[in-house]
Structure 1
Amino acid sequence: MAKRKVQRRARKVLGEDPVALVWCELGQPIPTPPKEVHRAAGKGRLKPGHHWLLYVGGVVFFFVLVPMVLVGKLADMLGQTSYGGEGTTRRAARSVGHQANDPTSGVFDGDWNLTAGQLLLRWYGHSPNPKRLVMLARDRVCVAASPRRSMSPTTADDFRTVAEFSFDEARVEAEAGQPRGFATFRLRFADGSWLELRRLAEPEDADHFLRTVST
């Protein structure tokens, strides 16, 4: 559960005690927007930033582990037929690419000009960290983020508001009792657009949040 300093920060940001709060993330990468739409929104980043240790791990993986695996498999690969492999690979790549670029595939409604799409275009401009804190006050929904690349949802107390909506402008849609680790909810905006969020952190906060919005 979020520690007291997180609760204090939430109270300061909202000006009142939060009714419920939860750290969450987008379930999938942001789809690639049309160039003109991205340009009009300021050409902000569409991918999260990563901690430097991740880059070190990537270097080790690609320059040490991958060559070792390739050397070990080379003899077997040379002796196997590749009939049908190329076509299968292309079809799989097309399928994955289609899913990754399908705006309705568990990210948002697909219209970049509406509220959810505009929020996505600026998602990582507010913070390179993928986590966002969604807080419910008595009369509004507040989305906040920590400016740090790496943070803990239980202790981060430097988050700030990146978007705020009255209940006339947005509402949260979710079901209570969802399996931990698979729970999702949607921000549904007055213009009909929606944004889906998942990877809810801190089980107690997540359960309380889902119970609150489902009543």
Structure 2
Amino acid sequence: MAKRAVHRRARKILGEEPVALVWCEIHKPVPTPPKDVHRAAGKGRLKPGRHWLLYVGGVVFFFVVVPMMLMDKLGERLDRLSSPGRKPGPRSGRSQTPPDARPATPGRVRDGGQDPAGGVFDGDWNLTAGQLLLRWYGHSPNAKRLVVLARDRVCIAASPGRRLSPTKADDFRTVAEFPLDQVRIDGEADQPRGFATFRLGFADGSWLEVGRLGEPQDADHFLRTATG
């Protein structure tokens, strides 16, 4: 379960004891909005911030790993050139099947049949879900959000920092709030850990799907309470 610091902070920003809460994320890439819509919303970021260790790893890969791989390939090529009597064997790394005759990859969908919203939201950027999505990472570069269910409203809170410990966070703040008659939560309890999702449905017909739910106990309690 979420630690006392999380419940204490939630109680402080709500002004009452939370009924249920759960950490979650936009678990799919945010689709690219039209330029005019993005501009009107302030041209906020559409991707989460990355930890500095990721950039360090990228630098190490390109300046250490890649040169070593190139040197290894160069060594293999020099070895082949230094053995003139050796006949080249058949290339095993290249498929002999014509491109048009190759079977389709299972699960692959043609571009024309893909959902432009990517299953993230209903697709209308001008409605509540779309507007919330446009500002999702503007409130915090961290991907995690705390959805808190109170007696008469649903609150979405975010931590302003790039780094976040979901079980101990105590600096998050409300970034969106909806009365219970303006939002509904659709989901099922006891979903497999790591695959659980739920949808926030709004009064204007728009919806937003979130996943990567936090502690299983929190997720199950939240979904049972919100959908029961």
TM-score (structure 1 length as normaliser): 0.86
Deviation of 1:67 (Å):
4.2
Deviation of 1:68 (Å):
3.7
How many percent identity over aligned positions? 72
| Deviation >3 Å, runs of 4+ | 66-76, 78-88, 95-99, 101-104
Deviation of 1:30 (Å):
0.7
Aligned to 1:129: 142
Q: How does 1:1-215 map to 2 (within 5 A)?
A: 1-69=1-69, 79=91, 80-81=93-94, 98=111, 102-215=115-228
Letter matched to residue 21 of structure 1: L
User: CA 1:166/1:85 → structure 2, altered by over 3 Å: closer, same or farther?
Assistant: farther
Deviation of 1:85 (Å):
8.6
Q: Is the 8 A contact 2:31 2:117 kept in 1?
A: no
Q: Is the 8 A contact 2:189 2:219 kept in 1?
A: no
RMSD (CA atoms): 2.8
Structure 1, 179-188 or 58-67: larger mean CA deviation: 58-67
Unaligned runs of 5+ in 1: none
Q: Is the 8 A contact 2:153 2:180 kept in 1?
A: yes
Paired residue total: 209
> SS where residue 199 of structure 1 aligns?
coil
Q: Quote the Cα distance in structure 1 between the aligned partners of 2:7 and 2:55.
A: 33
Q: Quote the Cα distance in structure 1 between the aligned partners of 2:98 and 2:121.
A: 34
Q: Quote the Cα distance in structure 2 between the aligned partners of 1:192 and 1:20.
A: 24
User: CA 1:115/1:178 → structure 2, altered by over 3 Å: closer, same or farther?
Assistant: same
Deviation of 1:54 (Å):
1.3
TM-score (structure 2 length as normaliser): 0.82
Q: Quote the Cα distance in structure 1 between the aligned partners of 2:173 and 2:63.
A: 39
Deviation of 1:168 (Å):
1.4
User: CA 1:115/1:71 → structure 2, altered by over 3 Å: closer, same or farther?
Assistant: farther
Deviation of 1:51 (Å):
1.5
Letter matched to residue 24 of structure 1: C
Deviation of 1:64 (Å):
2.4
> SS where residue 224 of structure 2 aligns?
helix
Letter matched to residue 158 of structure 1: D
Q: Quote the Cα distance in structure 1 between the aligned partners of 2:180 and 2:195.
A: 26
